[in-house]
Amino acid sequence: MGKKFKVTFRGNEVIEFEEGTTFKAISESFKHNFSYDILVAKADNDIVDLSETLKKKCNVDFFDRSSELGNSVYMNSAVFILILAVRNVLGSEALVKTEYSIDRGIYCSIENAKVNKDVVNNIYKEMLEIVKDDYAFTKVSVSRIDAIKYFRKLGRLDKVNVLKYISNTYINLYRISDIYDYFYGKMAYSTKQINDFKLTYLKDNGFVISLPDTVNPECTLDYVHHEKVFNKFLDYTKWGKIIGIENASDLNRVVSQAKISEYINLAEAHYDSQLASIAEDISNSKKNIKVVLIAGPSSSGKTTTSKKLDIYLRSKGYITHPIGLDDYYLDLDKRVLDENGVPDFESINALDIELFNKNLSDLLDGKKVNLPTYNFVLAKREYNGNYLQLGEKDIIIVEGLHALNDELTMSIDNSQKYKIYISPLTQINIDNHSHVHTSDIRKLRRIVRDSKTRGHGAKETLKMWPSIKAGERNNIYRFQDDVDTVINSALIYEIGVLKTYVEPLLFNVEETDAEYPEALRLINFLRNFLPIPSDDIPPDSVLREFIGGSCFKS
């Protein structure tokens, strides 16, 4: 009989297992605590595959697809199944590219093969067969040099180039059937665990693989197409190809050649061109636009964007007036309460909608209006003689969580509104099989800003993130289609800059913290990018809103 070690689950349940027992076998003793298949384990300080074995006593936790870490593993595993299915259906020449996140899924394209609805359906059927056959995801540790030689022989230059900038002597590859691939995250134990997904054909060799998410882990929801956001993704992807930056290795090459300042300027000019186009659109519009409304998810750069748009509109001869929604908060004693009995600042009902609409209506009728100011210390509204009266070329700019909700501006005719949805829709990926989550860019931005402006550590921001996401689902995403335009606030170089600020903060998350697995996932993600200094970033950049040094007052 072999040596036994104590395994402590979540600090209280203790069971002894023999040395060499797989974490998959160990997880069987604790699966009654989970609603879905356990996909990955945390043993003391390490995130480990279920195929790894017990070598010492340890504290252990497990993760299914309802968690951030487990959902990331589920997504990686589903993509690997997709890669094998495409090979089996279309042959080895067909190359899958995971492009970007969209509506709880990933937009994918296939090179060197013609794709239509029937082909996508055949790929889906093949994926189901792969799941049914229950292939194991096998991890293989190989030297980085040998991996580079292997992928170069296959013509997989995206893998070759990304591995060039990793300093590890050894790296992990994963295998299912006879295919090996490199991913920066973990894999599930076997294909049978990845039993829920959908494929939706779009156009031009593209389709979306939809998966369960942490909000709806029980099943995969039908894909909902968001045309304007999708087209903005496509535009940015095409632009990335034009300037030669599609993957992390492309950006790393520019950094290693000391040419990053040129690309910073290109990225800033591309972002500014969107604002110039909007100002031109408003100027040429046959509508009598008097109110510009800007909203987007957390850390999209709304503040900088609204202030820069103000400049572009003024260059067209408009006189702009920003109105803050925060000044229309109800007094604390009139505030609605959430399910925990505390004031709900994110609900639209926390605002005095009636007063906001009356003020807007009076302004558009040419009346002089005394605008309120909210005193956050006293938690009440005040009037300090902030009078405003609009002229013929005056435009109001409203930026905030509920700006796109028509309930906020119900008294204003749609012909007088111009609605803008903003989000960092990043197109840069790690390689052709590992896309960058849009929400990860916002998460990194938020961690850096919270540290600088609120004194929060990464742990606090990561802890808040689920409630932040809930607020976005309830108050922003459902309005993203009913807009005049979409602004992409992603900057093609920003991950390298954010890395220099956020990496130390992530390392400060303790191994015993509930947020540690997510912090470690982000650390591993950032290892694919070389650091970029912030010296050449202009003071009016949207990135300055997060890293500091902005010329705009908050």
343 - beta bridge partners? 337
* pLDDT at site 284: 93
pLDDT at 443: 96
> Are the C-beta atoms of 450 and 113 separated by less than 8 Å?
no
| Residue-range domains of the chain with CATH | 4-63 (3.10.20.30), 69-224 (3.30.980.10), 230-547 (3.40.50.300)
CB neighbours of 152 closer than 8 A, spacing ≥ 6? 160
Q: Which residue has the tokens 């590219």?
A: 97
The pLDDT value recorded for residue 366 is 93
Residue appearing with tokens 């435009």 = 395
User: What pLDDT is recorded for position 208?
Assistant: 97
- pTM, two decimals, is 0.92
For every residue of 500-542, which 3-state class applies, written as one string? HHHHHHHHCCCCCCCCHHHHHHHHHHHCCCCCCCCCCCCCCCC
| Structure tokens given for 293 | 């409304």
In angstroms, rounded to a whole number, what is the distance separating the alpha carbons of residues 191 and 132? 8
How does pLDDT run along the chain (554 residues), one tens digit per residue? Answer: 679 999 999 988 999 999 999 999 999 999 999 999 999 999 998 899 999 999 999 999 999 999 999 999 999 999 999 999 999 999 999 999 999 888 889 999 999 999 999 999 999 999 999 999 999 999 999 999 999 999 999 999 999 999 999 888 999 999 999 999 999 889 999 999 999 999 999 987 799 999 999 999 999 999 999 999 999 999 999 999 999 999 999 999 999 999 999 999 999 999 999 999 999 999 999 889 999 999 999 999 999 999 999 999 999 999 999 998 889 988 877 776 666 666 666 788 889 999 999 999 999 999 999 999 999 888 889 999 999 999 999 999 999 889 999 999 999 999 999 999 999 999 899 999 999 988 999 999 999 999 999 899 999 999 999 888 888 888 899 999 999 999 999 999 999 999 999 999 999 999 889 899 999 999 999 999 999 999 999 999 999 999 999 999 76
Q: How many CB atoms lie within 10 A of CB 25?
A: 14
H helical segments located in 293-347: 302-315
